[in-house]
């Protein structure tokens, strides 16, 4: 397997396959999650119930008290989380 310049495994002619599945950012008492990868989208569809008003663009907004359990569930599903500011 080849690696790109930052060490990500790639298929020949394919894009970087590493990186976060879900981006996270904190906005005061609200935490937002952006489900980036196909696996994260599948997790969202199958395991998360949310209301239309919780969406700000591509970001799901949740109360700070619910963010920890949601992040734990995301990680237990084998998905990678990353702070949006560090990506």
* Phi and psi torsions of 42, nearest 5°: -65, -45
Decide yes or no: CATH 2.70.98 for domain 21-86. no
* Residues 6 or more apart whose Cβ sits within 8 Å of residue 20: 36, 37, 80, 81, 82, 87
At 61 the three-state DSSP class reads strand
The model's pLDDT over 20-34, given as tens digits with 9 standing for 90+, comes to 999 999 999 999 999
pTM comes to 0.77
* Averaged pLDDT score across all residues of the chain: 83
Give the helix ranges, DSSP H, for the chain.
38-47, 64-76
């Amino acid at each position: 397997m080849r690696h790109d310049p930052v060490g990500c495994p790639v298929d020949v002619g394919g894009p970087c396959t590493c990186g976060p599945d879900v981006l996270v950012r904190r906005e005061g008492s609200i935490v937002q999650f952006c489900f980036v990868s196909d696996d994260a989208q599948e997790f969202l569809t199958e395991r998360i119930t949310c209301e239309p008003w919780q969406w700000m663009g591509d970001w799901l907004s949740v109360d700070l008290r619910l963010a920890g359990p949601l992040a734990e569930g995301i990680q237990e599903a084998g998905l990678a989380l990353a702070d949006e500011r560090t990506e």
